[in-house]
A and B are shown apart, each in its own frame.
Chain A
Amino acid sequence: QKEVEQDPGPLSVPEGAIVSLNCTYSNSAFQYFMWYRQYSRKGPELLMYTYSSGNKEDGRFTAQVDKSSKYISLFIRDSQPSDSATYLCAMRTTNAGKSTFGDGTTLTVKP
């Protein structure tokens, strides 16, 4: 069993929809949680990061971490065609250690 499981998708939504992306994990030592966006043939770019449990909001993006359930989510409001990409969750146990990634969810937002 993988340490990090990500909803596989792919997801296709109309423009303006609310998107929910989710990951579960098994390692209770994970403390740092990140969401990255990756466009085709490019390196991932950081969208959101959270330390421990809680919510964090940045514009149209909201990240949620529920450590008791070992579950993290990324919500995208008012989705745009430019949000079409692969979204990767990542987590790690220490501030500068190696990250464990989910397999990614490919999102397509249709105009």
Chain B
Amino acid sequence: GAVVSQHPSWVICKSGTSVKIECRSLDFQATTMFWYRQFPKQSLMLMATSNEGSKATYEQGVEKDKFLINHASLTLSTLTVTSAHPEDSSFYICSAPTLDGNYGYTFGSGTRLTVV
């Protein structure tokens, strides 16, 4: 089945540094990628929607200059957390529709970010 490979699975960084998270669609073309954030024991909060070759669409309240999303190819979308702070510590997950008749989307395995 369709697979979205997400890296890294966990990362620890210092306050003020930037962290890049990658999501690759391995056997299908992901024209759209959804980026979520999840706090412990809470549901997925949609941060932004990226479309290949165009600017991402951010949800209300999400700082686009802090969470930079790039979707330069049909198989790669990246999320960069810039000038990270401890409150950015969270679980970040990407997801893409496979458009193969399966209405469910394929999720990456998630990235646990800890900012110290």
Q: Which residues of A contact B (CB under 8 A)?
A: 32, 34, 36, 41-46, 49-51, 88, 95-96, 98-99, 101-104, 106
Contacts and interface: CB of A to CB of B under 8 A. Distances in A.
Interface of B: 6, 32, 34, 41-44, 46, 49, 91, 93, 95, 97, 99, 102-110, 112
A36 B93 CA distance: 14
B32 A88 contact: no
B107 A44 contact: yes
Contacts of B46: 98-99
A102 B97 contact: no
B44 A44 contact: yes
A96 B104 contact: no
B107 A34 contact: no
A46 B102 contact: yes
Contacts of B102: 46, 49
A88 B99 contact: no
